[in-house]
Amino acid sequence: EGQDGPMWLHPGLRLVGHLQGKARGVLNGAFYTVLSVCDTTVLVLCELTRKELELPMDFVKSKLRLGYAITQASCQGSTLRGRIRVYTHPRFTRRHLYVCMSRATSARMVEIC
């Protein structure tokens, strides 16, 4: 059970760091791929530094979030690889659109819903 609710950890799952600064080698906003899951630890690969980190389960629950469900506010300053799907709402503005579009590596990789 993470901060955002239940989360099933499995090899191949992509997570994103969500913390102030750096702790245990985990960086805020960096993406991590789960390599293996044990009862008390999780082995992850940092996509930015290419280092493997063995992290306690409690740390993972509190400092890592699901990588496919990040918010616009948490993606600022990041380059997102792969397809980006943007869900609009009644208060969606050009400013929101600009931030979303500037995170992608190409215009073809952005999908507005």
- Cβ-Cβ contacts under 8 Å for 11 (sequence gap 6 or more): 34, 35, 36, 37
1 pLDDT above the threshold of 80: no
- What mean pLDDT is predicted for residues 4-30? 85
The model carries a pTM of 0.70
Q: Which has more pLDDT, 1 or 84?
A: 84
Q: What is the pLDDT of residues 62-96, one digit of tens each?
A: 889 887 766 666 666 667 777 778 888 898 888 88
What does the pLDDT look like over 30-55, one tens digit per residue? Answer: 889 999 999 899 999 998 899 999 99
**CA 87 to mean position of chain CA atoms:** 17
